[in-house]
Amino acid sequence: MNLIGLSLVGFSAILLLALSLIKRKSPPKLRVIPALTRLYRAISLSVEDGTRLFIHLGPNSLLTPHGGAPLAGLGMLRHLTERTSFSDRPPIAAAGESSLALLAQDTLEAGYEAAGAGEYYQPLSGRLTGMTPFSAAAGAMSIIRDEDVSASILIGHFGVEAALMAEAAERQNAFLLGASDDPASQAALYASAPEVLIGEELYSAGAYLGATASHAASLTVQDILRWLIIIALLAGSAMKLFGMI
Partner 1 sequence: MADMIKCSVCGENNPADNEFCKNCQSRLQSLSGPSKGDNAPLQAGQVPTKKVTSEGDFSETLADDKSSAPSTLTWMTPQESAPEKDGLAFWLAETGQSPASFSDETAAPVQPAASTPEASSSNADKSDWLHDLQSGASTFDETPVDQTPISSDERPDWLKNMDAGAASFEQKPVEQPVSQSQSAPASDVPDWLRTFGEPPAPSTPSAPAAPSGEMPQVVQPLEPADVGISPAVDMPDWLSSPEPDESEPQPQESGQASSAAPAFADGSLSSGDVDAIFGSLQMPDWLSSAAAPSQPLASESPPPAAQSGASIAPADLPSWVQAMRPVEATLLDTNSGESVDSVVEMNGPLAGLQGVLPAMPGGMKPSYRPESHSIKLNASEEQLAHSALLEQILAEETTPVPMKSPSTILSQRVLRWVITAFLFLFVGGIFFAKTEIFALPSRGQLLNDETEATISVMDSIPEGAPVLVVFDYEPSLAGELEAVGAPLFNRLLLLKHPNLAIVSTSPTGSALAERFMSTTLKGRNYQRDVQYVDLGYLAGGLAGVYDFAQNPTKVMPFGADGSAVWNSSVLQGKTRLAEFSAVIVLTDSAEAGRVWIEQAGPFRGNASFVVISSAQAGPMLMPYLQSAQINGLVAGLNSAAKVEQANGQPGLARRYWDAYSLGLLVAVAFMFLGGLWNFFLGLQARRAQEAK
Partner 2 sequence: MRTVAVVLAVLTGLIVLVGYFVPALAGIQTILLSWTIILAGTATVVGVFNLISVHGNKITHREKGSVYSTLLLFSLIATFIFGIGLGPDNPNMQMLVSAIIVPVESTLMALLAVTLLYAGIRLLRRRTDLMSIIFLLTAALMLFASATLPFGEISPLNNWIRPWVQQVLALGGTRGILIGVALGTLTTGLRVLFGADRPYGGK
For the purposes of burial, counting CB atoms within 10 Å of the CB of 206, is it exposed (0-12), middle (13-18) or buried (19 or more)? buried
User: Could you say whether residue 96 binds partner 1 (CB under 8 A)?
Assistant: no
User: Could you say whether residue 232 binds partner 2 (CB under 8 A)?
Assistant: no
Options 24-32, 33-41, 42-50, 138-146: segment touching partner 2 (CB under 8 A) = 138-146
Q: Looking at residues 21 to 60 of the shown chain, list those that interact with partner 2 (rule: CB under 8 A).
A: none
Q: Looking at residues 131 to 150 of the shown chain, list those that interact with partner 1 (rule: CB under 8 A).
A: 131-134
User: Could you say whether residue 112 binds partner 2 (CB under 8 A)?
Assistant: no
Q: Looking at residues 44 to 63 of the shown chain, list those that interact with partner 1 (rule: CB under 8 A).
A: 49, 61, 63
Name the minimum Å distance from CB 72 to partner 1: 17
Burial track 123-139 (b if 16+ CB lie within 10 A, e otherwise):
eebbbbbbeebeebbbb
- Which residues partner with 126 through β-bridges? 93
User: Could you say whether residue 183 binds partner 1 (CB under 8 A)?
Assistant: yes
User: Could you say whether residue 207 binds partner 2 (CB under 8 A)?
Assistant: no
- Which residues partner with 138 through β-bridges? none
Q: How many Å apart are CA 224 and CA 205, to the nearest integer?
A: 19
Burial track 4-21 (b if 16+ CB lie within 10 A, e otherwise):
eeeeeeeeeeebbeebbe
Footprint of partner 1 (CB under 8 A): 49, 61, 63-66, 131-134, 159-161, 171, 173, 182-184
